[in-house]
A = this chain, B = another copy of it.
Amino acid sequence: MKRTKVVDALQCTEYGTAINVKGWVRSHRNSKAVDFIALNDGSTINNIQVVVDPETIDAETLKSITTGACISVIGTLVQSQGAGQTVEVQSKEIEIYGLCPSDYPMQKKGQSFEYMRKYAHLRLRTNTFGAVFRIRHNMAIAIHQYFHEHGFHYFHTPIITASDAEGAGEMFQVTTLDLERTGKGPVPYEKDFFGKKTSLTVSGQLEGELGATALGAIYTFGPTFRAENSNTPRHLAEFWMIEPEVAFLDKEELMDLEEDFIKYCVQWALDNCKDDLAFLNKMIDKTLIETLESVVKERFVRLTYAEGIDILEAAVKQGHRFEFPITGWGMDFSSEHERYLVEEHFKRPVIMTDYPSEIKAFYMKKNPDGKTMQGTDVLFPRIGEIIGGSVREEDYGKLVHEIEARGMEKESYNWYLDTRKYGSCPHAGFGLGFERLILFVTGMQNIRDVIPFPRTPKTAEF
Protein backbone atom coordinates (compact mmCIF):
# COMPACT_ATOMS: atom_id res chain seq x y z
CA MET A 1 0.00 0.00 0.00
CA LYS A 2 1.35 3.38 -0.99
CA ARG A 3 2.22 5.77 1.79
CA THR A 4 0.42 9.11 1.98
CA LYS A 5 2.37 12.05 3.32
CA VAL A 6 0.79 13.76 6.32
CA VAL A 7 0.58 17.07 4.46
CA ASP A 8 -1.55 15.36 1.79
CA ALA A 9 -3.56 13.23 4.21
CA LEU A 10 -4.64 16.33 6.10
CA GLN A 11 -6.06 17.83 2.93
CA CYS A 12 -7.82 14.68 1.85
CA THR A 13 -11.59 14.57 2.09
CA GLU A 14 -12.19 11.06 0.80
CA TYR A 15 -13.47 9.85 4.11
CA GLY A 16 -13.74 6.12 4.54
CA THR A 17 -10.82 5.25 2.28
CA ALA A 18 -7.91 3.16 3.45
CA ILE A 19 -4.74 5.08 4.08
CA ASN A 20 -1.13 4.45 5.12
CA VAL A 21 0.73 7.16 7.02
CA LYS A 22 4.24 6.94 8.41
CA GLY A 23 6.12 9.20 10.75
CA TRP A 24 7.38 10.00 14.20
CA VAL A 25 5.20 10.12 17.28
CA ARG A 26 4.87 13.61 18.66
CA SER A 27 2.62 12.55 21.51
CA HIS A 28 0.70 9.53 22.71
CA ARG A 29 -2.12 9.83 25.19
CA ASN A 30 -4.88 7.53 26.20
CA SER A 31 -8.37 8.24 27.33
CA LYS A 32 -10.85 5.59 28.46
CA ALA A 33 -11.46 3.53 25.40
CA VAL A 34 -9.04 4.87 22.80
CA ASP A 35 -5.47 5.99 22.38
CA PHE A 36 -4.52 9.12 20.44
CA ILE A 37 -1.20 9.29 18.66
CA ALA A 38 -0.10 12.56 17.05
CA LEU A 39 2.05 11.62 14.07
CA ASN A 40 4.38 13.90 12.11
CA ASP A 41 6.51 13.07 9.07
CA GLY A 42 8.24 16.39 8.48
CA SER A 43 6.14 17.25 5.42
CA THR A 44 4.19 19.85 7.44
CA ILE A 45 4.17 21.34 10.90
CA ASN A 46 0.76 19.78 11.47
CA ASN A 47 0.35 16.33 12.95
CA ILE A 48 -2.22 13.79 11.91
CA GLN A 49 -4.17 12.22 14.74
CA VAL A 50 -4.17 8.44 14.81
CA VAL A 51 -7.00 6.93 16.83
CA VAL A 52 -6.19 3.47 18.18
CA ASP A 53 -8.70 1.04 19.60
CA PRO A 54 -6.64 -0.82 22.24
CA GLU A 55 -8.50 -3.99 21.29
CA THR A 56 -6.71 -4.00 17.92
CA ILE A 57 -3.17 -4.11 19.28
CA ASP A 58 -1.16 -5.87 21.96
CA ALA A 59 -1.15 -3.74 25.12
CA GLU A 60 2.63 -3.83 25.67
CA THR A 61 3.29 -2.91 22.07
CA LEU A 62 0.87 -0.01 22.24
CA LYS A 63 2.53 1.22 25.42
CA SER A 64 5.97 1.09 23.81
CA ILE A 65 4.97 3.67 21.21
CA THR A 66 6.31 6.75 22.95
CA THR A 67 7.27 10.22 21.78
CA GLY A 68 9.97 9.99 19.10
CA ALA A 69 9.13 6.46 18.00
CA CYS A 70 8.77 5.81 14.28
CA ILE A 71 5.70 3.92 13.08
CA SER A 72 3.63 3.04 10.04
CA VAL A 73 -0.13 3.10 10.41
CA ILE A 74 -2.67 1.52 8.11
CA GLY A 75 -6.20 2.62 8.78
CA THR A 76 -9.21 4.51 7.56
CA LEU A 77 -9.31 8.21 6.91
CA VAL A 78 -12.25 9.65 8.84
CA GLN A 79 -13.67 13.04 9.60
CA SER A 80 -12.42 14.12 12.99
CA GLN A 81 -14.81 14.53 15.88
CA GLY A 82 -12.33 16.48 17.97
CA ALA A 83 -11.31 20.12 17.71
CA GLY A 84 -8.12 21.21 15.96
CA GLN A 85 -8.16 18.88 13.00
CA THR A 86 -10.57 17.98 10.22
CA VAL A 87 -9.41 14.44 9.50
CA GLU A 88 -7.88 11.62 11.49
CA VAL A 89 -6.85 8.03 10.92
CA GLN A 90 -8.77 5.20 12.55
CA SER A 91 -5.93 2.73 13.00
CA LYS A 92 -6.27 -0.88 11.89
CA GLU A 93 -2.65 -1.96 12.00
CA ILE A 94 0.51 -0.40 13.35
CA GLU A 95 4.01 -1.40 12.37
CA ILE A 96 6.83 -0.19 14.56
CA TYR A 97 9.94 0.87 12.66
CA GLY A 98 11.95 2.18 15.57
CA LEU A 99 11.13 2.68 19.22
CA CYS A 100 12.49 5.62 21.13
CA PRO A 101 14.25 5.09 24.47
CA SER A 102 13.34 7.37 27.34
CA ASP A 103 16.69 9.19 27.18
CA TYR A 104 15.60 10.80 23.89
CA PRO A 105 16.96 14.34 24.22
CA MET A 106 14.04 15.98 22.40
CA GLN A 107 11.38 14.36 24.54
CA LYS A 108 10.44 17.31 26.68
CA LYS A 109 8.70 20.35 25.34
CA GLY A 110 9.91 23.87 25.93
CA GLN A 111 13.63 23.16 26.02
CA SER A 112 15.87 26.15 25.36
CA PHE A 113 17.37 26.77 21.94
CA GLU A 114 20.77 26.69 23.59
CA TYR A 115 20.10 23.19 24.89
CA MET A 116 18.82 22.09 21.50
CA ARG A 117 21.91 23.40 19.69
CA LYS A 118 23.86 20.65 21.41
CA TYR A 119 21.53 18.20 19.68
CA ALA A 120 21.47 19.83 16.27
CA HIS A 121 21.09 16.37 14.74
CA LEU A 122 17.84 15.80 16.62
CA ARG A 123 16.43 19.31 16.98
CA LEU A 124 15.40 19.00 13.32
CA ARG A 125 12.54 16.83 14.58
CA THR A 126 10.97 19.58 16.68
CA ASN A 127 8.16 21.90 15.61
CA THR A 128 10.30 25.03 15.65
CA PHE A 129 13.21 23.65 13.67
CA GLY A 130 10.95 21.81 11.26
CA ALA A 131 9.29 25.15 10.53
CA VAL A 132 12.61 27.00 10.25
CA PHE A 133 14.12 24.52 7.82
CA ARG A 134 11.03 24.19 5.65
CA ILE A 135 11.08 27.97 5.36
CA ARG A 136 14.82 27.90 4.65
CA HIS A 137 14.09 25.48 1.80
CA ASN A 138 11.38 27.72 0.48
CA MET A 139 13.61 30.78 0.52
CA ALA A 140 16.25 28.92 -1.50
CA ILE A 141 13.61 27.90 -4.03
CA ALA A 142 12.27 31.46 -4.21
CA ILE A 143 15.78 32.76 -4.90
CA HIS A 144 16.45 30.29 -7.72
CA GLN A 145 12.99 30.88 -9.13
CA TYR A 146 13.38 34.64 -9.10
CA PHE A 147 16.71 34.68 -10.85
CA HIS A 148 15.73 32.02 -13.36
CA GLU A 149 12.59 33.94 -14.29
CA HIS A 150 14.66 37.08 -14.73
CA GLY A 151 17.27 35.55 -17.03
CA PHE A 152 20.12 35.22 -14.53
CA HIS A 153 22.42 32.21 -14.71
CA TYR A 154 23.35 30.28 -11.57
CA PHE A 155 27.12 30.43 -11.49
CA HIS A 156 29.39 28.33 -9.28
CA THR A 157 32.32 30.40 -8.12
CA PRO A 158 35.20 28.52 -6.50
CA ILE A 159 35.22 27.62 -2.79
CA ILE A 160 38.95 27.02 -2.57
CA THR A 161 40.76 30.11 -3.73
CA ALA A 162 44.21 31.59 -3.89
CA SER A 163 42.81 35.12 -3.82
CA ASP A 164 41.15 37.24 -1.15
CA ALA A 165 38.09 38.94 -2.59
CA GLU A 166 37.78 41.75 -0.08
CA GLY A 167 41.47 42.23 0.51
CA ALA A 168 40.89 42.04 4.23
CA GLY A 169 39.07 38.85 5.17
CA GLU A 170 40.16 36.54 7.93
CA MET A 171 40.42 33.32 6.00
CA PHE A 172 40.62 29.60 6.69
CA GLN A 173 43.63 27.96 5.12
CA VAL A 174 43.15 24.79 3.06
CA THR A 175 46.05 22.37 2.90
CA THR A 176 47.13 18.78 2.40
CA LEU A 177 50.50 19.32 4.07
CA ASP A 178 51.14 17.12 7.09
CA LEU A 179 51.08 19.67 9.90
CA GLU A 180 53.05 17.41 12.20
CA ARG A 181 55.93 17.47 9.76
CA THR A 182 56.10 20.97 8.29
CA GLY A 183 58.36 22.34 11.00
CA LYS A 184 58.92 26.01 11.81
CA GLY A 185 59.86 28.55 9.18
CA PRO A 186 58.86 28.88 5.53
CA VAL A 187 56.04 26.54 4.54
CA PRO A 188 56.86 24.23 1.60
CA TYR A 189 53.83 25.28 -0.46
CA GLU A 190 55.36 23.76 -3.56
CA LYS A 191 54.46 20.43 -1.93
CA ASP A 192 50.90 21.49 -1.06
CA PHE A 193 48.02 20.17 -3.17
CA PHE A 194 47.63 23.31 -5.23
CA GLY A 195 51.32 24.24 -5.15
CA LYS A 196 50.54 27.48 -3.36
CA LYS A 197 48.77 28.85 -0.32
CA THR A 198 45.00 28.46 -0.64
CA SER A 199 42.04 29.44 1.49
CA LEU A 200 38.27 29.17 1.69
CA THR A 201 36.47 31.92 -0.18
CA VAL A 202 35.04 34.90 1.68
CA SER A 203 32.95 35.98 -1.33
CA GLY A 204 32.33 34.83 -4.87
CA GLN A 205 31.85 38.32 -6.17
CA LEU A 206 35.05 38.87 -8.09
CA GLU A 207 34.60 35.59 -9.96
CA GLY A 208 30.92 36.44 -10.29
CA GLU A 209 31.92 39.56 -12.20
CA LEU A 210 33.78 37.34 -14.66
CA GLY A 211 30.53 35.49 -15.19
CA ALA A 212 28.40 38.61 -15.54
CA THR A 213 30.71 40.18 -18.10
CA ALA A 214 30.24 37.07 -20.26
CA LEU A 215 26.80 35.61 -19.55
CA GLY A 216 25.22 39.01 -18.92
CA ALA A 217 23.59 38.24 -15.58
CA ILE A 218 24.63 35.64 -13.03
CA TYR A 219 24.04 34.83 -9.40
CA THR A 220 26.01 32.76 -6.96
CA PHE A 221 24.45 30.80 -4.12
CA GLY A 222 27.09 28.99 -2.15
CA PRO A 223 28.96 28.72 1.12
CA THR A 224 31.39 31.42 2.22
CA PHE A 225 33.70 31.46 5.19
CA ARG A 226 35.08 33.92 7.74
CA ALA A 227 37.61 32.88 10.35
CA GLU A 228 36.52 35.65 12.69
CA ASN A 229 36.65 34.82 16.35
CA SER A 230 33.18 36.26 16.95
CA ASN A 231 30.81 34.56 19.33
CA THR A 232 27.66 36.54 18.63
CA PRO A 233 24.10 35.69 17.57
CA ARG A 234 24.94 37.26 14.18
CA HIS A 235 28.17 35.50 13.16
CA LEU A 236 28.91 32.14 11.61
CA ALA A 237 32.25 30.87 10.36
CA GLU A 238 30.42 29.10 7.51
CA PHE A 239 27.37 30.67 5.92
CA TRP A 240 25.61 30.85 2.57
CA MET A 241 25.66 33.87 0.33
CA ILE A 242 23.70 34.90 -2.73
CA GLU A 243 25.59 37.27 -5.02
CA PRO A 244 23.92 38.41 -8.23
CA GLU A 245 25.99 40.39 -10.69
CA VAL A 246 24.58 42.08 -13.79
CA ALA A 247 26.15 43.65 -16.84
CA PHE A 248 24.81 47.03 -18.00
CA LEU A 249 23.03 47.74 -14.71
CA ASP A 250 23.18 51.24 -13.24
CA LYS A 251 22.56 52.41 -9.72
CA GLU A 252 18.83 53.03 -10.07
CA GLU A 253 18.28 49.66 -11.73
CA LEU A 254 20.35 47.99 -9.03
CA MET A 255 18.12 49.44 -6.31
CA ASP A 256 15.04 48.33 -8.24
CA LEU A 257 16.49 44.83 -8.48
CA GLU A 258 17.32 44.64 -4.78
CA GLU A 259 13.87 45.79 -3.73
CA ASP A 260 12.00 43.62 -6.21
CA PHE A 261 14.10 40.56 -5.35
CA ILE A 262 13.74 40.69 -1.61
CA LYS A 263 10.03 41.48 -1.78
CA TYR A 264 9.60 38.46 -4.03
CA CYS A 265 11.29 36.24 -1.43
CA VAL A 266 9.24 37.56 1.47
CA GLN A 267 6.02 37.31 -0.53
CA TRP A 268 6.97 33.71 -1.39
CA ALA A 269 7.20 32.92 2.30
CA LEU A 270 3.81 34.52 2.96
CA ASP A 271 2.27 32.54 0.10
CA ASN A 272 3.96 29.18 0.59
CA CYS A 273 4.83 28.86 4.28
CA LYS A 274 1.53 29.84 5.89
CA ASP A 275 1.37 27.10 8.53
CA ASP A 276 5.01 27.37 9.52
CA LEU A 277 4.80 31.16 9.73
CA ALA A 278 1.62 30.95 11.80
CA PHE A 279 3.43 28.66 14.22
CA LEU A 280 6.47 30.93 14.49
CA ASN A 281 4.24 33.98 14.79
CA LYS A 282 2.57 32.33 17.77
CA MET A 283 5.64 30.86 19.44
CA ILE A 284 8.60 33.06 18.50
CA ASP A 285 7.56 36.56 17.47
CA LYS A 286 4.00 37.83 17.63
CA THR A 287 4.77 40.57 15.09
CA LEU A 288 6.39 38.26 12.54
CA ILE A 289 3.70 38.04 9.86
CA GLU A 290 2.81 41.69 10.28
CA THR A 291 6.46 42.65 9.74
CA LEU A 292 6.75 40.47 6.64
CA GLU A 293 3.56 41.91 5.21
CA SER A 294 4.65 45.49 5.82
CA VAL A 295 7.98 44.93 4.05
CA VAL A 296 6.24 43.67 0.94
CA LYS A 297 3.73 46.50 0.91
CA GLU A 298 5.82 49.58 1.49
CA ARG A 299 8.11 51.17 -1.04
CA PHE A 300 11.64 51.20 0.37
CA VAL A 301 13.05 54.58 1.34
CA ARG A 302 16.05 55.60 -0.77
CA LEU A 303 18.44 57.64 1.30
CA THR A 304 21.99 58.85 0.93
CA TYR A 305 24.54 58.10 3.61
CA ALA A 306 24.87 61.84 4.25
CA GLU A 307 21.12 62.14 4.83
CA GLY A 308 21.33 59.16 7.14
CA ILE A 309 24.03 60.85 9.20
CA ASP A 310 21.89 63.97 9.44
CA ILE A 311 18.93 61.99 10.76
CA LEU A 312 21.06 60.21 13.35
CA GLU A 313 22.66 63.45 14.49
CA ALA A 314 19.22 65.04 14.81
CA ALA A 315 18.07 62.04 16.86
CA VAL A 316 21.00 62.48 19.23
CA LYS A 317 20.14 66.17 19.60
CA GLN A 318 16.60 65.15 20.50
CA GLY A 319 17.94 62.92 23.24
CA HIS A 320 18.18 59.51 21.56
CA ARG A 321 21.07 57.51 22.98
CA PHE A 322 23.10 55.15 20.84
CA GLU A 323 25.53 52.64 22.26
CA PHE A 324 27.97 53.48 19.46
CA PRO A 325 28.41 57.26 19.12
CA ILE A 326 27.50 59.18 15.98
CA THR A 327 30.80 60.68 14.95
CA GLY A 328 29.65 62.30 11.72
CA TRP A 329 30.57 61.87 8.08
CA GLY A 330 33.05 59.05 7.53
CA MET A 331 31.78 56.79 10.31
CA ASP A 332 30.60 53.27 9.61
CA PHE A 333 27.04 52.50 10.66
CA SER A 334 26.43 49.85 13.25
CA SER A 335 23.35 47.69 13.11
CA GLU A 336 21.89 49.79 15.92
CA HIS A 337 22.06 52.92 13.72
CA GLU A 338 20.62 51.11 10.75
CA ARG A 339 17.75 49.78 12.82
CA TYR A 340 17.00 53.22 14.22
CA LEU A 341 16.55 54.58 10.70
CA VAL A 342 14.40 51.64 9.63
CA GLU A 343 12.39 50.85 12.74
CA GLU A 344 12.00 54.20 14.40
CA HIS A 345 12.54 56.96 11.89
CA PHE A 346 11.06 55.67 8.62
CA LYS A 347 9.27 52.54 9.84
CA ARG A 348 10.10 50.76 6.59
CA PRO A 349 13.15 49.37 4.79
CA VAL A 350 15.79 51.80 3.60
CA ILE A 351 18.19 51.58 0.69
CA MET A 352 21.19 53.62 1.72
CA THR A 353 23.44 54.95 -1.00
CA ASP A 354 26.58 56.98 -1.61
CA TYR A 355 28.75 55.88 1.28
CA PRO A 356 32.23 57.33 1.77
CA SER A 357 34.56 55.35 -0.50
CA GLU A 358 37.13 54.64 2.18
CA ILE A 359 34.77 52.59 4.34
CA LYS A 360 33.85 50.36 1.39
CA ALA A 361 35.60 47.83 -0.84
CA PHE A 362 38.05 48.72 -3.61
CA TYR A 363 35.86 47.59 -6.50
CA MET A 364 33.01 50.00 -5.89
CA LYS A 365 32.44 52.78 -8.39
CA LYS A 366 33.13 56.28 -7.14
CA ASN A 367 30.78 59.18 -7.71
CA PRO A 368 32.10 62.22 -9.58
CA ASP A 369 32.59 63.95 -6.20
CA GLY A 370 35.58 61.65 -5.69
CA LYS A 371 34.69 60.86 -2.10
CA THR A 372 31.45 58.86 -2.19
CA MET A 373 30.69 55.65 -4.04
CA GLN A 374 27.67 54.10 -5.72
CA GLY A 375 26.76 51.69 -2.95
CA THR A 376 23.18 50.59 -2.37
CA ASP A 377 22.82 48.70 0.91
CA VAL A 378 19.39 47.54 2.00
CA LEU A 379 18.60 48.03 5.68
CA PHE A 380 15.84 45.96 7.25
CA PRO A 381 13.90 45.95 10.48
CA ARG A 382 15.37 43.63 13.14
CA ILE A 383 18.38 42.82 10.91
CA GLY A 384 20.07 46.04 9.89
CA GLU A 385 22.03 45.55 6.66
CA ILE A 386 20.52 42.61 4.81
CA ILE A 387 21.91 43.38 1.35
CA GLY A 388 25.21 45.05 0.45
CA GLY A 389 25.32 46.25 -3.13
CA SER A 390 27.15 48.59 -5.44
CA VAL A 391 27.91 49.59 -8.96
CA ARG A 392 31.40 48.29 -9.78
CA GLU A 393 34.22 50.43 -11.07
CA GLU A 394 34.57 49.49 -14.74
CA ASP A 395 37.45 51.82 -15.63
CA TYR A 396 40.76 49.94 -15.75
CA GLY A 397 42.90 52.90 -14.74
CA LYS A 398 40.72 53.96 -11.82
CA LEU A 399 40.53 50.40 -10.52
CA VAL A 400 44.30 49.92 -10.68
CA HIS A 401 44.74 53.24 -8.91
CA GLU A 402 42.40 52.13 -6.11
CA ILE A 403 44.12 48.75 -5.74
CA GLU A 404 47.52 50.41 -5.45
CA ALA A 405 46.30 53.16 -3.14
CA ARG A 406 45.04 50.49 -0.75
CA GLY A 407 48.39 48.69 -0.77
CA MET A 408 46.95 45.59 -2.43
CA GLU A 409 49.01 43.47 -4.81
CA LYS A 410 47.99 44.33 -8.34
CA GLU A 411 49.48 41.10 -9.72
CA SER A 412 47.01 38.98 -7.73
CA TYR A 413 44.14 40.75 -9.49
CA ASN A 414 45.35 40.58 -13.08
CA TRP A 415 42.61 38.09 -14.01
CA TYR A 416 40.02 40.39 -12.44
CA LEU A 417 41.45 43.43 -14.15
CA ASP A 418 41.22 41.63 -17.50
CA THR A 419 37.44 42.20 -17.41
CA ARG A 420 38.22 45.94 -17.51
CA LYS A 421 40.97 45.52 -20.07
CA TYR A 422 39.05 43.57 -22.68
CA GLY A 423 35.62 44.93 -23.54
CA SER A 424 34.90 46.47 -20.14
CA CYS A 425 31.26 47.15 -19.35
CA PRO A 426 29.31 48.96 -16.64
CA HIS A 427 27.92 46.45 -14.16
CA ALA A 428 26.58 46.15 -10.66
CA GLY A 429 25.61 43.57 -8.11
CA PHE A 430 24.85 42.80 -4.52
CA GLY A 431 25.35 40.24 -1.79
CA LEU A 432 22.74 38.78 0.50
CA GLY A 433 23.65 36.70 3.53
CA PHE A 434 21.20 33.81 3.29
CA GLU A 435 21.02 33.26 7.04
CA ARG A 436 20.18 36.93 7.59
CA LEU A 437 17.22 36.52 5.29
CA ILE A 438 16.16 33.39 7.18
CA LEU A 439 16.47 35.21 10.51
CA PHE A 440 14.20 37.91 9.15
CA VAL A 441 11.61 35.57 7.67
CA THR A 442 11.44 33.19 10.64
CA GLY A 443 11.68 35.67 13.49
CA MET A 444 14.45 33.60 15.08
CA GLN A 445 16.99 35.53 17.13
CA ASN A 446 20.18 33.52 16.84
CA ILE A 447 21.84 32.78 13.50
CA ARG A 448 22.93 29.37 14.86
CA ASP A 449 19.29 28.38 14.87
CA VAL A 450 18.63 28.97 11.16
CA ILE A 451 21.40 26.79 9.67
CA PRO A 452 21.29 23.04 10.29
CA PHE A 453 24.81 22.59 11.67
CA PRO A 454 26.37 25.92 12.70
CA ARG A 455 30.15 26.39 12.57
CA THR A 456 31.43 28.85 15.15
CA PRO A 457 34.65 29.18 17.15
CA LYS A 458 35.40 25.84 18.85
CA THR A 459 32.28 24.26 17.33
CA ALA A 460 32.23 21.93 14.31
CA GLU A 461 30.02 19.13 15.52
CA PHE A 462 28.20 16.69 13.21
| Chain B CB within 8 A of A176 CB | yes
- Report the separation of the CA atoms of residues A41 and B184 in the bound assembly, to the nearest whole angstrom: 51
Contact A175:B173 (CB < 8 A) given known A133-B153, A133-B155, A394-B98:
yes
Nearest-CB distance from A242 to chain B (Å)?
A: 13
Interface residues of A in 143-195 (CB under 8 A from B): 144, 148, 151, 153-163, 170, 172-177, 179-187, 193-195
Q: A423 near B461 (CB under 8 angstroms)? A: no
- Report the separation of the CA atoms of residues A225 and B174 in the bound assembly, to the nearest whole angstrom: 11
| Chain B CB within 8 A of A436 CB | no
Chain B residues contacting A129 (CB-CB under 8 Å) are: 214
Interface residues of A in 66-118 (CB under 8 A from B): 68-70, 72, 97-101, 104, 106
Q: Which stretch of A380-388, A402-410, A450-458 is in the interface? A: A450-458
Contact A423:B98 (CB < 8 A) given known A125-B214, A180-B185:
yes
Chain B residues contacting A24 (CB-CB under 8 Å) are: 214, 423, 425
Chain B residues contacting A144 (CB-CB under 8 Å) are: 140-141, 144
| Chain B CB within 8 A of A7 CB | yes
Contact A238:B159 (CB < 8 A) given known A141-B148, A148-B141, A181-B184:
yes
Nearest-CB distance from A411 to chain B (Å)?
A: 13
Taken together, the copies of this chain in the complex come to: 2
Interface residues of A in 236-256 (CB under 8 A from B): 237-238, 240, 247-248
- Report the separation of the CA atoms of residues A124 and B212 in the bound assembly, to the nearest whole angstrom: 9
Residue of B nearest to A175 (CB): B173
Chain B residues contacting A349 (CB-CB under 8 Å) are: none
Q: Which stretch of A335-343, A356-364, A413-421 is in the interface? A: A413-421
Nearest-CB distance from A404 to chain B (Å)?
A: 21
Chain B residues contacting A331 (CB-CB under 8 Å) are: none
Chain B residues contacting A174 (CB-CB under 8 Å) are: 172-174, 200
- Report the separation of the CA atoms of residues A461 and B163 in the bound assembly, to the nearest whole angstrom: 8
Chain B residues contacting A371 (CB-CB under 8 Å) are: none
| Chain B CB within 8 A of A424 CB | yes
Q: Which stretch of A215-223, A310-318, A319-327 is in the interface? A: A215-223
Q: B180 near A422 (CB under 8 angstroms)? A: no
Chain B residues contacting A125 (CB-CB under 8 Å) are: 213-214, 423
Chain B residues contacting A394 (CB-CB under 8 Å) are: 97-98
In this complex, the member of A240, A415, A425 whose beta carbon has the largest number of chain B beta carbons within 10 angstroms is A425
Interface residues of A in 292-331 (CB under 8 A from B): none
Chain B residues contacting A173 (CB-CB under 8 Å) are: 174-177, 179
Query: Can you spell out 22 A-B residue pairs with CB atoms less than 8 angstroms apart?
Result: A41-B248, A97-B423, A98-B424, A98-B425, A99-B423, A133-B153, A134-B153, A156-B451, A156-B452, A158-B238, A158-B462, A161-B462, A173-B179, A174-B200, A180-B185, A193-B227, A193-B457, A194-B237, A194-B455, A194-B460, A198-B460, A222-B223
Closest 8 CB pairs of A and B: A98-B424, A124-B214, A42-B216, A42-B215, A70-B423, A137-B153, A194-B460, A195-B458
User: Which residues does A use to contact B, with CB under 8 Å?
Assistant: 3, 5, 7, 22-25, 41-43, 68-70, 72, 97-101, 104, 106, 121-122, 124-125, 129-130, 133-134, 136-137, 140-141, 144, 148, 151, 153-163, 170, 172-177, 179-187, 193-196, 198, 200, 207, 210-211, 213-217, 222-223, 225, 227, 229, 237-238, 240, 247-248, 394, 415-416, 418-426, 451-453, 455, 457-462
